[in-house]
Amino acid sequence: MLRTVAALTLSVVVVAPAHAGAAEPPPRVPEQVGWGGAVSSVDPDASQIGIDVLRRGGNAVDAAVATAAALGVTDPFSAGIGGGGFFVHYDARTGRVSTLDGRETAPRSATDQLFVENGKPLPFAEAMTSGLSVGVPGTPKTWQQALRKWGTLNLREAMAPAEALARRGFVVDRTFNSQIANNAARFADFTSTRDLYLPGGQPPAVGSTFRNPQLADTYRELARTELASLYGGAVGRDLVKTVQQPPVVPGTTRNIRPGAMEISDLARYQVERRDPTRTRYRGLDVYGMAAPSSGGTTVGEALNILESTDLSKASDVEYLHRFIESTKLSFADRLRWVGDPAFSTVPTDGLLSQKFADSRACLIKPDAVLPAPQPAADPRNPKPCEATAGLSSLREDAERTTHLTTADRWGNVVAYTLTIEAEGGSGIVVPGRGFLLNNELTDFEFVAPTAGVPHPNLPGPGKRPRSSMAPTIVLDHGKVVLAVGSPGGSTIITTVTQILTGRLDRKMSLRDAVAAPRASQRNAATTPAEAEFIAAATTAGLQAIGHKFSQNAEIGAATAVERAKDGRWRAVAEPTRRGGGAARVVKVG
């Protein structure tokens, strides 16, 4: 009965006539508290669609897929059907946390020389804006598998509101406009991207209505064919042709290299169901995403390093010092050990063992800063205060992704991070289909960081590149405490760790923990930090210890939900980053 009612309701949305202009968008609200379920995302239209699904009787999974599909319309430069992601689900009936790995894969033709030309690694910008960087998308199959395993709607029902949104249009905000402006030079080099996002040679004006009927048609075709059109059919053939023959504007001076993806790569793609990572922290169970994501292990290791220090009683300077040093060390180990588990052995249990964390924690001094980059240590054979696994450093990566969190009246929760990698992905829209392709394969190391030493994150046939996405769910005796995640490339890991310690240790409200000024130490000599962090009174104390900071415009854009003791849900979104997010509950109160 639930499926029938939902289908009838959603069908009305699909066949409703398009408005002459998009309605005024729902407001951006950083926090709501109430009953019946919650949705939090970066975009008010997307969050509202998720809440509408909950109001019609859908569950957290239905709402997550509907919200994600809407983000593919309104936040297409961060995520969409041309990308991938990681889906973490809590089942209130069983108390079990499960995950889906919808990470993109390299084509079967890929080798460890994918981004090497004439013996040298390609410049990152050239690799990014190319067919070479495009991985086989996993997002649509993630939606399908999540709905089949845990949802009450089918794919057509869950995607219908987003299809209608793409067809009728939405109001362009400053973030949407600026993301196009930031990428205008490369968008202008592809006929399909130029025609969609640079009409008349300029980004759509703030306050105007943006429609994407091509994407609406693609959504309808994917839903109608149960994704067969993408993973082997007409949409897939268009995608492959775009990768192999990018629609370059004649006369462009940009060196745009073709890729070698085949339709068989799409047909072969599978979403993997993986065991989540689990870390005990302050008596709570912190669940995250396992390899090929490094989010679960790196957040978990940092928390384990901090476990031996009572952060609730530390001064602000002591707390931030310990936080910064813990992520410095966990990032050292991340680079050395984490990759696609189908291609190399990832010592997950060792990375998350308290014994290993304690062997790293003893390196941290209260009155001095560890030099960086720190070498990695060997979690298979922990030696207290000794790093033995060779040098480690950070390769900067793109910082555009999106995260959403949902919860329902039955207590089910989803934390879902999805991406097309860089802002605007590869920059290439599939002609006639209305969606951007990812540049996810640039998450591979182009060459081994240490010559002659095997590395877990080099390209390979069918391989999934390492990710930093960290959708996280925290339980107390099997019951949800909170769920959180963020965009931001490798800063995702530090953002999630900072929010967790702020909420769980420092007893900040969830809203304040999400909004707090951020620093992101990832095993470098200087810690990138937001201007407000650098301007805070604590910074002088950190600098006195030896910390060095560089200013970063913005770090992350988290969303979260939290369960109150009386059963209400608290939905929280960023108040200002990326223009502010949109937190919603079904019934405020």
Encode pLDDT of 34-57 as tens digits.
Answer: 999 999 999 999 999 999 999 999
Q: What pLDDT score was predicted for residue 448?
A: 87
Q: What pLDDT score was predicted for residue 5?
A: 33
Mean pLDDT of 482-508: 97
pLDDT reading at 357 higher than 50? yes
Q: What pLDDT score was predicted for residue 13?
A: 33
pLDDT tens digits, 307-325 = 999 999 999 999 999 999 9
| Gap between the Cα atoms of 497 and 467, Å rounded | 16
Give the pLDDT band (50/70/90) at residue 1: very low
pLDDT tens digits, 406-430 = 999 999 999 999 999 999 999 999 9
Q: What pLDDT score was predicted for residue 24?
A: 72
Number of domains in the chain: 1
> Is 70 in contact with 406 (CB distance < 8 Å)?
no
pLDDT reading at 18 higher than 80? no
Window from 112-121, 305-314, 392-401, 415-424 with minimum mean pLDDT: 392-401
Q: Which residues pair with 86 in a beta bridge?
A: 101, 417
The verdict on residue 317 lying in a domain is: no
pLDDT reading at 300 higher than 60? yes
Q: What pLDDT score was predicted for residue 553?
A: 87
For residues 23 and 456, the model is more confident at 456
Give the number of other CB atoms < 10 A from CB of residue 199: 12
Give the pLDDT band (50/70/90) at residue 399: low
Domain interval for residue 155: 31-273+395-588
Which CATH number belongs to the domain containing residue 115 in this structure? 3.60.20.40
Distances (CA, A) of 225 to 142, 195, 229, 265: 16, 27, 6, 18
| Gap between the Cα atoms of 407 and 64, Å rounded | 9
pLDDT reading at 20 higher than 80? no
* Residue ranges with strand state E in 243-302: 272-274, 277-281, 284-288
pLDDT reading at 108 higher than 90? yes
| pLDDT cut 70: percent of the chain above it | 94
pLDDT tens digits, 560-571 = 999 999 999 999
The verdict on residue 310 lying in a domain is: no
DSSP state of 113: T
pLDDT reading at 527 higher than 90? yes
pLDDT tens digits, 325-348 = 999 999 999 999 999 999 999 999
Q: What pLDDT score was predicted for residue 191?
A: 98
pLDDT reading at 290 higher than 90? yes
pTM: 0.95
Q: What pLDDT score was predicted for residue 26?
A: 80
pLDDT reading at 542 higher than 80? yes
pLDDT reading at 401 higher than 50? yes
* Residue ranges with strand state E in 172-290: 209-210, 272-274, 277-281, 284-288
The verdict on residue 377 lying in a domain is: no
Q: What pLDDT score was predicted for residue 138?
A: 98
Q: Which positions make up the binding site for L-glutamate?
A: 103, 443, 467-468, 489
Mean pLDDT of 213-232: 98
Mean pLDDT of 134-149: 98
pLDDT reading at 123 higher than 90? yes
Mean pLDDT of 54-63: 98
Mean pLDDT of 108-134: 97
> Is 29 in contact with 584 (CB distance < 8 Å)?
yes
Q: What pLDDT score was predicted for residue 374?
A: 94
Query: How far separated are the first and last CA of the chain, in Å rounded?
Result: 28
Compute, in degrees rounded to 10, the torsion defined by CA atoms 562, 90, 574, 436.
-170
Mean pLDDT of 254-276: 98
The verdict on residue 390 lying in a domain is: no
The verdict on residue 380 lying in a domain is: no
The verdict on residue 25 lying in a domain is: no
Catalytic residue set: 401
Give the number of other CB atoms < 10 A from CB of residue 348: 20
The verdict on residue 285 lying in a domain is: no
pLDDT tens digits, 366-391 = 999 999 999 999 999 999 887 666 65
Give the pLDDT band (50/70/90) at residue 555: very high
Query: What's the whole-number average pLDDT of the chain?
Result: 93
| Gap between the Cα atoms of 238 and 248, Å rounded | 15
pLDDT reading at 393 higher than 50? yes
